Structure 1
């Protein structure tokens, strides 16, 4: 199955010119555009193949959680686009397990300390609101979202009806995805979680993610980790 993987196009800063010809599946690992603009662009430009769309943090900017998610899911109904937030879909005998998977802030130590640092420095906690109170998103909120997503993901992998399983998230599952020059930066704890033991235990075939603006490809046990913020075609899935 010829699969194109893209993430972090950030079309809010300018539209991207991409060729979706000669592929069988498009995977979007988040941060396509703000709010509903990304799903509208996908509906207008990718009509003949299945699309798997995972929301990133930027989809929620100037909006709220989970209202923005519900809007995007509604726009995807009865289309070729599968919006996966703690959901899975089977395509060509492969189960795709999708979740934004905010981090747990435990990459370098105490999540309270690093969560507080990230909350004070990152736009996520200024530009995203939380329903129904419409209060600003906090690091404790995304911490809880992380663990809820991990519980779902573990069950989804255990209950998978297919031999081949691919996990798609926006945030990264290992510090190995972080460029070397940022690995000592405390804010990187908002970009990746240390999920290597989880990966070794559950052995998905691939783990695809976004959020990091530098391509990465490496192995954790038998699982290939792929991050590609520019998009490329792989026929190996």
Structure 2
């Protein structure tokens, strides 16, 4: 079997910030195609695109994005991010009965209607000899507990004040259900990590490269989880993640390569394009 030598990576597209959601389908498709064209590297050698979460806030628009990407890629692998759970309007809350998982379930169906598009949710897929595995993942507040000596209750109160996740994901998380959600996602990672050469999650399992003001900011707790026990099992693997809108590529002390290639919001001016990752 021929083993693929590369895949392409992006995350945190936040489509509706780049292309305004409207009912003019022709205009919307044209604008989405322009955005996608601007993201494709000039000599993209990969047939597989990995999207590490946060497509956008509107499922139909997100499907149009995937259709546009399919002009360039045979396979598209997706994990969902926190924004893929958001219900940002009264209309969305009515449509999905104030249940964010219904929106995510619909997005999975719309995505997988397209040939070659797969949503990883505690699952794996082998493409050209490379096994990819992933899930959305979630944060566990361990950064604040271990680094800032804060309690889980203190961090929950900070989370309610600081994060849109507290107001736009339904039903609203309690302190208990927030941790239940993390634990459920963590179990999915545990199920795929050993057989996967490429691991994909939205949230990073490692905060060793956090610096500056973020080292003393409790909000950092909501951008990472303590994946130390998983990283000990990931030597020689590649772990792709999103959520932070900061591009990084480094080798963890346990031998796992961690990569973020987030697009982010227009006003962040990251200059990100889809990046080819060599295996």
Q: Compute the TM-score of the two structures, normalised by the length of structure 1.
A: 0.86
Distance 1:91 1:194 in 2: 29
Task: Pick the aligned partner of 2:177 from 107, 120, 141.
Answer: 141
1:155 to 174, 180, 191: 191
Equivalence for 2:260: 227
Match of 2:218 among 175, 181, 186: 186
Superposed displacement of residue 100, structure 1: 1.2
Unaligned runs of 5+ in 1: 131-135
Please say if 1:217 is aligned against 2:249: yes
User: Is the 1:96–1:166 Cα contact (8 Å) retained in structure 2?
Assistant: yes
Correspondence for 1:133 = none
Q: Does 1:57 align with 2:85?
A: no
Which of the pair is proportionally richer in helix? 2
Tell me: CA distance 1:28–1:235, structure 2 relative to 1, closer, same or farther (3 Å).
closer
Change (3 A) 1:74 1:204: farther
User: Any idea what SS the aligned residue of 1:147 has?
Assistant: helix
1:23 partnered with 2:46: yes
Cα 1:151–1:176 shift into 2, 3 Å: same
Residue of structure 2 in register with 1:125 after alignment: 166
Deviation at 1:46, TM superposition (A): 1.8
Give how far 1:204 is off.
5.9
Determine which structure has the larger strand proportion and give its number. Answer: 1
1:91 aligns with 127
Aligned pair in 2 of structure 1 residues 99, 121: CA closer, same or farther (>3 Å)? same
Corresponding residue number in structure 2 for 1:38 = 62
In 1, Cα distance between equivalents of 2:129 and 2:157:
42
Structure 2: segments with no counterpart, 5+ residues: 20-34, 93-98, 146-150, 263-271
Displacement after TM superposition at 1:28 (Å): 0.6
Q: Distance in 2 between matches of 1:223 and 1:125?
A: 32
Separation in 2 of the partners of 1:166 and 1:174?
16
CA offset at residue 126 of structure 1?
Answer: 0.5
Superposition deviation, residue 218 in structure 1: 1.2
The number of equivalent residue pairs is 228
- Specify the alignment match of 1:71 in structure 2: 106
Describe the SS at the equivalent of 1:88. strand
Q: For the structure 1 residues 177 and 115, does the alpha-carbon distance in structure 2 shift closer, same or farther, using more than 3 Å as the test?
A: farther
